[in-house]
């Protein structure tokens, strides 16, 4: 076993959470066939820290290599846009007590998918997005955006130039930063004394209970529980004061955070304790749970391969929908390639014409489905399956839909 230490508490990591074999970086889509041979594979082994309970992946590539030209755009998903608009309304009401112009900073603001909903008369907004190609799109939409990685250094610079912020937002970024301590300290520095932070991240409870192992990929460094997040925050004089469960990404949580010394906001202790009790009840910190999960996902792989091989023998056409990072973990863990799935389609123009990392399945525009009408269509972003099926039926696509997680299911 590699000698690595926990990214929060420095304890030597000796326990394995899951082993997903080897895989390229989940967002390293291949531009051209001639680059197939150059693909780099990394182990996808997840560890568990017995002290602070953080489930984590070691860092194999530097973040600037992973995130500086990211193909992921938030805006294409309608349900994600609706979710963001709802959040802005919700938080604008919640922050009503702050009468002056409220300063909002979103970390990993992508193309401005969320900040665009803030009323510019009441809010002064700032986005931080390290992927330069995506930050440029936000700036074009007149959303002030800094294209740098967030951490202590950047937060000090922003504070010097613009002062502190009343609301700091981080959606699906907290689990994606390798140096989660530097990131947390950075937020503490930038936050005004009365301000609040909201973070959304997938809850590890759902990963375990719903067998969502495909949410594991190299860009996703930490798999978070409330117990561990509160442990980390307290190291930097921050604490959770409220929690909401969300349906996004197969089951996420939104935590509301304040400075510990801010006594004006009350901590909803019962609500927080209830979630931690759930975490304990499902034994999410126990080795036997991890072993059971590994057995379960091996079974998912076996069932999926049996299905694909059978359909090939029957001469059926099988395609996939979507090119999300999670799909790449799934396909690569199952050792599927274009012999078994002919192609996939994705709405993001940045992905069309490329190939999925590892499986090397070509990506086309969804229009291809209308002409090709595959017999089976594997929906890789299972969390959006209802939205996708509805859209495709409306487009006139005739196929049988298949989802594989938590188990293989055919939807006619």
Residue 90 CB, shortest distance to Zn ion, in Å, is 33
Closest CB to Zn ion among residues 7, 258: 7
| Token output for 76 | 């294409």
Which residue is it, tokens 């014409």?
353
**β-pairing, 252-259 with 15-23?**
unpaired
Question: In whole angstroms, how close is the CB of 168 to Zn ion at the nearest point?
Answer: 24
Nearer to Zn ion by Cβ, of 7 and 203: the residue is 7
**Residue among 134, 145, 138, 130 at smallest CA distance from 112:** 138
The two structure tokens encoding residue 10 = 């420095």
Of 15 and 400, nearer to Zn ion (C-beta) is 15
Grouping H, G, I as helix, E, B as strand and the rest as coil, residue 259 is strand
The least CB distance from residue 403 to Zn ion, in Å, is 34
**At closest approach, how far in Å is the CB of 107 from Zn ion?**
23
Tell me the C-alpha to C-alpha distance, in Å, between residue 204 and each of 27, 51, 62, 208, 296: 21, 17, 24, 6, 16
CB of 301 to Zn ion, least distance (A): 29
Where do contacts with Zn ion occur on this chain (CB under 5 A)?
Answer: 6, 8-9, 11, 49, 51-52, 54
Q: Which is nearer to Zn ion, 42 or 231 (CB)?
A: 231
Given the complex with Zn ion, which of 159 and 181 has the nearer CB atom?
A: 181
Q: Directed axis angle between helix 180-190 and helix 152-162, to 10°?
A: 10
Q: How far is the CB of 225 from Zn ion (least distance, A)?
A: 12
Cβ distance 148 to 108 under 8 Å? Answer: no
Q: Which long-range contacts (CB under 8 A, 24 or more apart) does 66-71 make?
A: 66/25, 66/27, 66/218, 66/219, 67/130, 67/131, 67/149, 67/219, 68/130, 68/131, 68/132, 69/131, 69/132, 69/133, 70/27, 70/131, 70/133, 70/134, 71/27, 71/29, 71/348, 71/350, 71/351, 71/354
Nearer to Zn ion, 52 or 402 (CB): 52
Q: 216: which residues sit within 8 A by CB, 6+ positions away?
A: 18, 20, 44, 46, 57, 207, 223, 329
Strand order in the sheet with 318-321: 363-364, 344-345, 318-321, 376-379, 400-403, 409-411
Q: What's the min distance (Å) between Cβ of 190 and Zn ion? A: 25
- Shortest approach of Zn ion to residue 9 CB, angstroms? 3
CB of 6 to Zn ion, least distance (A): 3
Nearer to Zn ion, 54 or 199 (CB): 54
CA distance readout (Å), 257 to 261, 365, 376: 12, 41, 45
Give CA–CA dist 38/84, Å, rounded: 38
Do residues 2 and 58 make contact, with C-beta atoms less than 8 angstroms apart?
Answer: yes
Q: Which is nearer to Zn ion, 223 or 333 (CB)?
A: 223
- CB of 5: closest distance to Zn ion in angstroms? 8
Decide: helix, strand or coil at residue 8: coil
Q: Which is nearer to Zn ion, 49 or 167 (CB)?
A: 49
Distance in angstroms (rounded) separating the CA atoms of residues 301 and 186? 40
Which residue, 9 or 305, is less far from Zn ion as judged by CB? 9
């Amino acid at each position: 076993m590699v000698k690595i230490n926990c990214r929060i508490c420095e304890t030597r990591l000796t326990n394995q959470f899951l082993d997903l074999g080897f895989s390229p970086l989940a967002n390293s889509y291949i531009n051209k066939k001639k680059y197939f041979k150059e693909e780099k594979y990394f182990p996808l082994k997840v560890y568990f820290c017995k002290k602070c309970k953080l489930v984590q992946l070691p860092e194999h590539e530097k973040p600037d290599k992973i995130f500086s030209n990211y193909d992921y755009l938030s805006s294409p998903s309608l349900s994600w846009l609706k979710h963001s608009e709802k959040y802005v309304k919700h938080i604008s009401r919640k922050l009503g007590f702050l009468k002056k112009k409220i300063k909002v900073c979103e970390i990993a603001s992508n193309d401005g998918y969320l900040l665009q909903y803030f009323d510019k008369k009441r809010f002064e907004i700032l986005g931080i997005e390290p992927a330069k190609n995506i930050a440029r799109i936000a700036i074009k939409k007149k959303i002030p955006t800094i294209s740098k990685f967030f951490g202590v250094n950047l937060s000090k610079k922003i504070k010097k130039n613009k002062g502190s912020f009343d609301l700091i937002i981080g959606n699906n970024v907290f689990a994606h930063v390798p140096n989660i301590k530097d990131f947390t300290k950075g937020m503490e520095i930038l936050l005004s004394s009365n301000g609040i932070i909201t973070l959304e991240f997938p809850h590890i409870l759902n990963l375990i209970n719903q067998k969502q192992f495909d949410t594991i990929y190299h860009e996703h460094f930490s798999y978070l529980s409330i117990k561990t997040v509160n442990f980390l925050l307290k190291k930097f004089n921050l604490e959770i004061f409220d929690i909401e469960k969300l349906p996004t990404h197969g089951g996420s949580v939104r935590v509301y955070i304040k400075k510990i010394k801010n006594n004006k906001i009350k901590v909803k202790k019962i609500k927080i304790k209830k979630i931690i009790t759930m975490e304990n009840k499902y034994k999410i910190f126990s080795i036997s749970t991890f072993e059971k999960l590994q057995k379960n996902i091996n079974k998912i792989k076996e069932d999926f391969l049996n299905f694909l091989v059978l359909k090939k023998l029957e001469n059926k056409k099988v395609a996939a929908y979507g090119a999300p990072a999670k799909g790449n973990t799934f396909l690569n863990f199952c050792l599927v390639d274009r012999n078994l799935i002919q192609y996939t389609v994705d709405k993001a123009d940045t992905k069309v014409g490329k190939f999925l990392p590892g499986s090397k399945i070509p990506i086309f525009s969804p229009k291809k489905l209308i002409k090709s009408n595959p017999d089976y269509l594997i929906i890789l972003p299972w969390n959006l399956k209802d939205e996708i099926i509805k859209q495709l039926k409306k487009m006139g696509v005739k196929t049988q839909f298949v989802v594989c997680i938590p188990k293989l299911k055919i939807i006619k």
